[in-house]
Amino acid sequence: MFKLFGKKESASPEEKLAECGKKKDWAGLAKAYYSLGTAAMDCGDLNRAQLWLHRADTVYSARDEVYEKVGEKLADDCSGRIGRLEEEHILYNDIPAQVEEKAAGLGDVRVRIWGLLSLARLVKLGKRLSALPGCGALGRLDGAVDTVLNSFQGLSSGEELNGLQDLGGALYELGDDPAFWGAGSEIPVPAGAPFQVFDLNGMMGVHLEAEAYLSGHLEMAAALGQGQEPPAPETGIITGALLPDYYVRTGAGPLEEVPQVRAELERIWSDYEFVCSGPSWEAVAQRAAKYKELDILA
C-alpha cells in the first residue's frame, strides 16, 4: 500500500542555493549560505564555515534591500561568527599573517613587486573568467601587470595609468554585482570540479585585493610625483592566487594538503626570496611573464 499524501521533505541548503539563484531570491540565497556556514561552524568545520559565512556576508552586503530582507539579527550573528573565525589558526588567517610579517622588513618597492608577481599568476584564470557575464574586467589583468611593471621604471603613460584606475573601479563594482555572487557562473576545470567566479570571494576577495593593489600603486605614484611619502603597500594580493574557497567548496581535502595550494605556497615564499635578492627589472619582467602563462588550477 502506498501513501497518497505524505509530508514533503524540506529542501537541503544546497538545493535552496540553486533554487534561490534561479528565482533571483537574493535574501534567500544569503540565508542559505548562512545556514550552511552556521552548521559547519557548529560542528567545528572552520574552513567551510569561513567559506559559507563570507558568501552570506557578500550577498546581503551588496544591496540595501537584500540586507533589509535578511534582517539585522542574522547579519549581526554572521558578522560575529566571522569575527570569531578571524581568531582561529586556519590557512585563511595564518598565511596572510605570515606574509604581513615578512613584508614588514622588505621595504616599499619590494613588497609591491612581491604583490605584482602574485597578480601575474591570476592573469590566465582572469582571462577565462572574463568570458562569463559581467566579468570582463578580470580579463584586463594582463595589461595591468605590464603597466605596473613599466611604471616602476617610468615607462607608463598617463593614459595607461588612468586605465589602471578604471580597472580598479570595475573590479570593485564586480563585488556588488549578481554576476559575481548570484548567477552561479562557472568555467570548466579539466583536472577537477568547475570553478565558480564566486570562488574568488576568499582571502577578503581576490577582485578587491587586486583593486586595492592597483589603487595603492597609483597612490604611490601620485605621492612620489609630489615629493611625498607614499602610503604603506597593500599585501592582500600576495595570497590572492591560493583560491582556498574553490578547494574548500569542492571538497578537495585538507587545504594544507591540496597539491595546488602547496604549489602556490611554494611560489609565494620563492617570490619572497626572489625580491629579497634585489633582482633586476629584467629578471622581474621575465618572472612575471612566466607567471602570466601559468594555470594555477592545474
Dump pLDDT digits (tens) for 115-149: 999 999 999 999 999 999 999 999 999 999 999 99
Among 48, 49, 47, 53, which residue's Cα sits nearest to residue 33?
A: 53
Is residue 1 scored above 70 in pLDDT? Answer: no
Is residue 5 scored above 50 in pLDDT? Answer: no
pLDDT of residue 252: 80
10 pLDDT band, cuts 50/70/90, is low
Among 187, 181, 141, 183, which residue's Cα sits nearest to residue 164?
A: 141
Among 124, 105, 77, 80, which residue's Cα sits nearest to residue 294?
A: 124
Give the burial class of 289: count Cβ atoms within 10 A of its Cβ; 0-12 exposed, 13-18 middle, 19 or more buried: middle
Span 51-61, average pLDDT: 97
Average pLDDT, the chain: 94
Span 160-189, average pLDDT: 95
pLDDT of residue 9: 58
pLDDT of residue 155: 87
Q: Reduce the DSSP state of residue 251 to 3 states and report it.
A: coil
- Is-contact 119 237, C-beta < 8 A? yes
pLDDT of residue 3: 45
Span 223-243, average pLDDT: 94
Is residue 6 scored above 60 in pLDDT? Answer: no
Q: Which helix H or strand E contains 195, and what residues bound it? A: strand 192-196
* 18 or 115, higher pLDDT: 115
Is residue 14 scored above 80 in pLDDT? Answer: no
Among 205, 206, 141, which residue's Cα sits nearest to residue 167?
A: 141
How far is 118 from 203, CA to CA, in rounded Å?
13
Span 6-18, average pLDDT: 69
pLDDT above 70 coverage of the chain, percent: 97
Span 159-173, average pLDDT: 95
83 pLDDT band, cuts 50/70/90, is very high
Is residue 85 scored above 90 in pLDDT? Answer: yes
Is residue 181 scored above 80 in pLDDT? Answer: yes
pLDDT of residue 264: 98
pLDDT of residue 2: 43
- Is-contact 108 69, C-beta < 8 A? no
